[in-house]
Structure 1
């Protein structure tokens, strides 16, 4: 690397093509400073509330942003007086009316305080990014199951780095960074990724999405663009509740 103390000489050599910018060592602080583009101003939320540039998907007042996955009719889950919604058993999964690509997602969930059932049947639900890639919701407190299907797993793909659940019946928080996969000419050219923070604890660290997250079979990679955020009705009286759901498009 050239260290040129004469700024004019360095500029002349750069302009003539004799050296590249990477070969010229800066000699003043100003040469490594830039002022554009300026990042947009975002006002943070407080206590998990949405920042100023977020899209609020559920604030506890209605299910207007959600539809049934099965037939696109109005979502049939239970709207609670405390500003949450609860899975209405066997009414089916729900998804957002709006489609998204890469996002930052904030979502809060809890299992019912009165424990019922065991293993994968205890407060089982799931959060599907792009409608395809599941982050598992499950009550694993004193309830072991297969670790690539436990709470906080990328279902059947990535075991969480820690089990960070709060006591059964209390509210958990997931903060998720999702980068969508990329496709060209009918083929995946770049895998997607997921980062998950569970109650302030990093449990998935920019892990590769290998494909869809089926219960049976290997991951598949269907070509897709943007898709909905989907919440699962597992069909076994899971009684999982959700609140305070918002996203920031990336």
Structure 2
């Protein structure tokens, strides 16, 4: 019989407190409700790019790209993908970008005999032309850790190796925050990158020390928005379904 008496007493105490809260203007929940701005609606159809994305390759042609030194992009297009032509040099987007969300699907060659380390399925995705996210066949293929797939080349080792077998399509989803420079050319804030490799987080808001260097330490020099550049590293790496959202 004790429990019902206690419950009744609690209800008697709680009721006035609840009424007081209702009558207190400072406790109005509407005071913490924000209605504007209203986020824009973005359609995300299954298997397609978001409705506000810039499609850089949708499976048909390389009209959004040009050769490293200008002119027509020299890589081959077939079966909804395009492939590096070794020795032809890289390609870059005609459009320039700063902060972006980037989606890229890529595939290294199935044949690996006679190739290992940095010679197996090597390419690279350069944000703003000078910051490289490594593309490499890193499936049972030892190499230096800050040069394997999903590394920020020679700067940041990926958290894990999420690589699929050679010949299988792989996915990078990237959030890129461009560096900021003062009017005088000084660095205000460094570049930052988050990368998911095949849906697995491999770079978590990584801060870059500067542009990619093959030899020596990275450093910054002032620049503005710039193209996305894909590297020819003498391997027939293929790409498909590339889109960006400007942030």
Q: TM-score, normalised by structure 1?
A: 0.87
Is 1:157 the counterpart of 2:177? The answer is: no
CA distance in 1, matches of 2:53, 2:166: 29
| Deviations, residues 100-121 of structure 1 (Å, cap 9, x unaligned) | 0100000000011111411001
RMSD: 1.3
Could you tell me how far 1:45 is from its partner in structure 2? Answer: 3.3
CA distance in 2, matches of 1:65, 1:220: 30
Is 1:106 the counterpart of 2:137? The answer is: no
Larger Rg, first or second structure (1 or 2): 2
CA distance in 2, matches of 1:41, 1:6: 36
Aligned residues: 224
What secondary structure, in the 3-state scheme, does the structure 1 residue paired with 2:27 have?
A: coil
**Structure 1 unaligned runs (5+)?**
8-25
Could you tell me how far 1:136 is from its partner in structure 2? Answer: 0.3
Could you tell me how far 1:28 is from its partner in structure 2? Answer: 1.8
CA distance in 1, matches of 2:45, 2:145: 33
**Structure 2 unaligned runs (5+)?**
1-22
CA distance in 2, matches of 1:145, 1:27: 60
Equivalent residue, structure 2, for 1:197: 196
Equivalent residue, structure 1, for 2:29: 29
Equivalent residue, structure 2, for 1:20: none
Equivalent residue, structure 2, for 1:66: 65
| Deviations, residues 223-250 of structure 1 (Å, cap 9, x unaligned) | 011000000001x3x1100000000000
CA distance in 1, matches of 2:51, 2:105: 19
CA distance in 1, matches of 2:158, 2:208: 14
CA distance in 1, matches of 2:87, 2:188: 37
CA distance in 2, matches of 1:34, 1:54: 27
Could you tell me how far 1:220 is from its partner in structure 2? Answer: 1.9
CA distance in 1, matches of 2:217, 2:72: 32
Equivalent residue, structure 1, for 2:242: 245
Equivalent residue, structure 1, for 2:90: 93
CA distance in 2, matches of 1:64, 1:182: 30
Could you tell me how far 1:68 is from its partner in structure 2? Answer: 1.0
The 4+ residue runs of structure 1 with deviation greater than 6 A are none
Equivalent residue, structure 2, for 1:224: 223
CA distance in 2, matches of 1:45, 1:206: 27
Equivalent residue, structure 2, for 1:84: 81
CA distance in 2, matches of 1:212, 1:63: 26
CA distance in 2, matches of 1:220, 1:192: 11
Q: TM-score, normalised by structure 2?
A: 0.88
CA distance in 1, matches of 2:30, 2:65: 51
Could you tell me how far 1:140 is from its partner in structure 2? Answer: 1.1
